[in-house]
Amino acid sequence: MMPLILKLENLRLIDDPARGMLVRFVDPTSGKEVKRKVPPGRDPIDYAKSQHELLGLGYSPVKQSGMKLSENVEKYYAELDRHVKNHVEGKNTADNKIRPKRRNIVKSHVKLHILPDLGEMRIDEIKAVHANRLQHKLKENLKGQSIKPVIQTLARMMRFFYHAGLIAHIPFHQEDIERLQNQVTNEARIPSKDEVEAVLCSFDKLWMEVMVRLAAETGMRISEITALTWGDLSRGVIAVERSSVDAQIDKTKSRAGMRQIPLGQKLVAQLAELKLGNSQASDADFLFTNRNGRLFGSSDALRSVLRPALSRAGVEKFGWRGLRRFYINELLDQNIMLNHVQKLVGHELGSNVTEKHYRRVKQQDVLKDEYVISLG
């Protein structure tokens, strides 16, 4: 009798003296008992557990490697759903922090970009060259910062297929993919102080000016601004406690995102005036709603508030992220301590995100005498 290494509900891991490590299970498709060899290089127990999870989802691990990507995508969706369930139930670990919105975004990557190009390929044939080809094809219609998440989704899918035992090895990693030239998009462009002031002067509706002023003078994300309630305002300080994701209230982007930010006098006065015009509003009511009384989505706020103002002011395009970057750079230019800036904008203390992705270095900043090296 072959030694039993691991016993699970519907699968056994055994050590066959002739064939090596095998997993034994009943194929849910055929009802027949199957023995399958653990692939070279795989940890036998890890592999057995992955096969057990696949069986628990109702899928047969037998002869899957020849199947098309389009025929296996539902398995990946089921894995995403499992992670979302863990998130909702508060069972988050480092490996399964997936919110419902994130799952929907990943599914859209697959449906709109990955399946049309790779859906008819067998999953054991997809290599780095195909990911590179997809990346360059996407470049025709998408901006650089929109392409990277799609390729990351493809890489995660292939890693899932490997851990599920559907392919013998991970065909590529993110670092194997050619890096497209990073381009600063118009939406992320950092406006000058004069440009921001010109935009603020272009509004004839107070609530629109307040929305943009909040972004420029507090560095809040637009998803945080649209989720503000009157109860979040108190004595010149605003409390950031939630965000609006697809016009639905959610937690802040991270734990560090929960914070308090001091407000300038003009902004405090404008908020008081805005509240006076909404005298029936309670602390639980949102500051900003659309004409249907619903929460703004980020794209709706960009389309109906910021972009028309840019046009009126004759200012080159920038987006909500550009205003957040403007705020961060204004603070750093005033030599505010980096950890204080991170606290104000909701970045993890000690992370490199603030300076790596938000800091602007101007050419004139480095044209100084003290930066000249002279040798005898």
pLDDT in tens, 110-131: 999 999 989 888 888 888 888 8
Nearest to 61 by CA among 92, 91, 23: 23
Which residue spans of the chain are classified as CATH 1.10.443.10? Answer: 188-358
Cα angle for residues 202, 205, 209 (degrees, 5° grid): 60
pLDDT at position 91: 62
Strands lying side by side in the sheet with 4-7: 4-7, 11-16, 20-26, 33-37
Question: Residue 361 — φ and ψ, nearest 5°?
Answer: -110, 115
pLDDT at position 268: 93
Residue 28 CA from chain centroid, whole number: 36
Stretches where the chain sits below pLDDT 50 are: 65, 94, 181-184
Beta bridge pairs of residue 59: none
CATH architecture of structural domain 188-358: Orthogonal Bundle (1.10)
The full DSSP string for 93-137 is -TT----HHHHHHHHHHIIIIIHHHHTTSBTTT--HHHHHHHHHH
Nearest to 151 by CA among 181, 188, 110, 116: 110
Rg for the chain, CA atoms, rounded: 26
DSSP 34: E
**7-62: per-residue pLDDT in tens?**
888 788 888 888 888 888 887 766 778 787 877 667 788 778 877 777 776 666 55
Which residue spans of the chain are classified as CATH 1.10.150.130? Answer: 69-176
| Burial class of residue 67 in the structure, from the number of CB atoms within 10 Å of its CB (0-12 exposed, 13-18 middle, 19+ buried) | middle
Give the C-alpha separation, 60 to 166, whole Å. Answer: 10
- Which tokens in the block code for residue 33? 């008992």
For 69-176, CATH gives 1.10.150.130
